[in-house]
Amino acid sequence: MAVTLQQIADAAGVSRRTVDRALKDQGRVRPEVAEKIKKLAEEMGYRPNQAGRALALAKNPIKIGVITQSSETPFMQEVLVGVHDARRRVRRNGADVEICRIDGVNARQVIACMEKLKESGVRGMALVPAEDEGIKLEIDRLSEEDHIPVVTFNSDVSNSRRICFVGQNNKKAGQTAAGLMADCLKSYEQIGIITGSAENPALNSRVKGFQETLSELRPDLMINQVYYIADDELQAEKITVELLNEFPQTKGIFVSAPAVLGVCRALRKKGVEKEIIVIANDVLGENIKCLEEGSINYLIGQEAYFQGYEGVMTLYRYLLEDRKPKKELEYTDIIIKNRYNI
């Protein structure tokens, strides 16, 4: 049987409560006693029983707040599935999760939600932020003044006091795509890039990673100008047609934008979907269909579900076990899918 608090208390000749305090550095214990207790716990290999802890905490339950942006997108829907699964799981342990869904990107709204969640007494927050000074300030204030730990997921706020970030390394995602493209294309072929808003740092990193790595691996290839689109399938289709008209020799396309379906439609209409290697991002419903029927060759995934699930669970573990994540940047795996391993 595992070592319990009581056993340490017996061994040290003090009460359970004293051991508890000593182990948590809560003071109010004579330093030499605390020292002795800690040594004893170490020697006896004490590991707190999580079930016991969770149960005791059910008196005033741990509550976690979650804020998501762009909640209407298919990608974030998938993230939210992960969040809800995590909620179900922590609920079965007597904790709870309160979720604020924000549609679109809106820093002001995020800050308002943070305030609201704080008022409602959450002990920690997991949120999808944006590189915004106001959000950064609020994160720092929660962490420092209110002692409410914050986890960012999916997107990050660099240099803020969040305990960690769970999400993709976008540059590496772009590089991974470049590696695939380099293997698939023959000498001196042409490449097109389609991406979303030029202001989106995530998309930019991907594209940059792709360009840099590809020109290093295959200096012979010709990487044409970057085409920008909004998240709109119709526009994506139009732009893709433009690209194909402008550069009819294109043999590879990297799609960093969300509107993958529009691109596929254009390729099919032009009847070139079999001749062009297409690598796109996000392993999601419509995209998967394109992959299955062959108009896309590879999808690069970022574990949307896991981001949501792990964002919440990281925080829960931190709150329950006082266990800091090992790394400040918890990068999710970069997934490569072709038709056969979906």
Nearer CB in complex with DNA: 149/311? 149
CA torsion 219-224-228-234 (nearest 10°) is -120
* Options 26, 49, 120, 158; binder of its own copies; rule CB under 8 A: 49
Name residues whose C-beta falls within 8 Å of residue 318's C-beta, 6 or more positions apart in sequence: 124, 149, 151, 163, 324, 325
Site string for DNA, 1-40 (x = CB under 7 A): xx-xxx------xxxxxx-xx-----xxxx--xx------
- Cβ(257)–Cβ(195) below 8 Å: yes
Site string for DNA, 185-214 (x = CB under 7 A): ------------------------------
Total residues interacting with DNA, rule: CB under 7 A: 32
Rg (CA), the chain: 25
Burial 306-332, CB ≥16 within 10 A → b, else e: bbbbbbbbbbbbbbbeeeebeeeebbb
Structure tokens at 39: 């040594």
Structure tokens at 222: 């010709």
| Residue 285 binds its own copies (CB under 8 A) | no
How far apart are the C-alpha atoms of 336 and 334, rounded to whole Å? 7
Which is it for strands 124-127 and 190-195: parallel, antiparallel or unpaired?
A: unpaired
* Options 44, 112, 272, 336; binder of its own copies; rule CB under 8 A: 336
* Options 77, 94, 112, 325; binder of its own copies; rule CB under 8 A: 94
Q: How far is CA 22 from the centre of its chain?
A: 36
Give least dist CB 316 to DNA, A: 14
| Residue 159 binds DNA (CB under 7 A) | no
* Options 10, 39, 43, 55; binder of DNA; rule CB under 7 A: 55
Give least dist CB 93 to DNA, A: 10
Residues at the interface with its own copies (CB under 8 A): 1-2, 47-52, 54-55, 58, 61, 91-94, 172-173, 175-176, 178-180, 183-184, 186, 213, 277, 297, 333-341
Q: Could you list the residues that contact DNA (CB under 7 A)?
A: 1-2, 4-6, 13-18, 20-21, 27-30, 33-34, 46, 48-49, 51-53, 55-60, 94
